[in-house]
Amino acid sequence: MTNWCQNRLEVSGPTPLLGAWRAAQQGASPGQVGGRSQALSFHAQLPAPPDAPGPHRARRSSDETQRLGLLLTGHADPTPDLPLDSVSWRILHWGCSGDAAHVTLTSLPERLTLEFLTPWGPPLAWLQAVATAWPALGFELRGIEPGNELYVHVRILNGRVQHSEERAPTGQELLEWGYEPDDA
């Protein structure tokens, strides 16, 4: 069973540029039946390659898991000629094993707020790539997944990380996200 990470992404900048960014993020989630477009799809800016096998494998081999671990820690790919399975590719390039789900968008002048769910953790790799591609925008992501005692807060300005913290959530943060501290 998947543990869902709640995410809140605030994107700030000039309204016309925010409109362009918003349009670039819209798309259908890979493997989504009916191909319905959503307000935020990681696939829109960082599409999973077509040679990434399968939509989702329930079990990865220990070799694939070890390979992903090496790549995530900055080591060379031991089998660069073999494509990653789709889940490993997404974890490596998006920071989570699947696309954004249950996306809601609030638009204000010079600010967009997107709230969405991701499996297991926040999309940190995707955020870094998108912030680098859109340096004139500011990005602030907060995510919480109390089942894994995970709270993340990242702020990126001018394409550079200004603040990054990953830790267990406080009781106050659990309450702010709708959890009872004793329930986590």
pLDDT digits (tens, 9 = 90+) for 2-55: 799 999 999 999 999 999 999 999 987 766 555 678 899 999 999 877 655 444
Please answer whether residues 96 and 121 qualify as being in contact, where contact means their C-beta atoms are separated by less than 8 angstroms.
yes
Domain ranges (residues) in the chain: 4-44+98-176
pLDDT tens sequence across 109-151: 999 999 999 998 999 999 999 999 999 999 999 999 998 899 9
Question: Residue 77: what pLDDT?
Answer: 78
Question: Residue 50: what pLDDT?
Answer: 67
The amino acid at residue 150 is L
Q: How far is CA 167 from the centre of its chain?
A: 17
Question: Residue 183: what pLDDT?
Answer: 58
Question: Residue 54: what pLDDT?
Answer: 47
Please answer whether residues 26 and 32 qualify as being in contact, where contact means their C-beta atoms are separated by less than 8 angstroms.
no
List the beta bridge partners of residue 160.
157
Distance, CA of 172 to CA of 170 (rounded, Å): 5
Question: Residue 1: what pLDDT?
Answer: 67
List the beta bridge partners of residue 101.
117
Fold of 4-44+98-176: Alpha-Beta Plaits (3.30.70)
Please answer whether residues 163 and 154 qualify as being in contact, where contact means their C-beta atoms are separated by less than 8 angstroms.
yes
Residue 174 has pLDDT above 80, yes or no: yes
pLDDT tens sequence across 45-72: 998 776 554 444 445 567 777 776 776 6
Question: Residue 48: what pLDDT?
Answer: 79
Question: Residue 32: what pLDDT?
Answer: 58
Q: Residue 125: which of 167, 92, 86, 163 has the closest Cα?
A: 92
Distance, CA of 128 to CA of 40 (rounded, Å): 15
Using only C-alpha atoms, the chain has a radius of gyration, in whole angstroms, of 17
pLDDT tens sequence across 67-112: 767 766 777 877 777 777 788 888 888 999 899 999 999 999 999 9
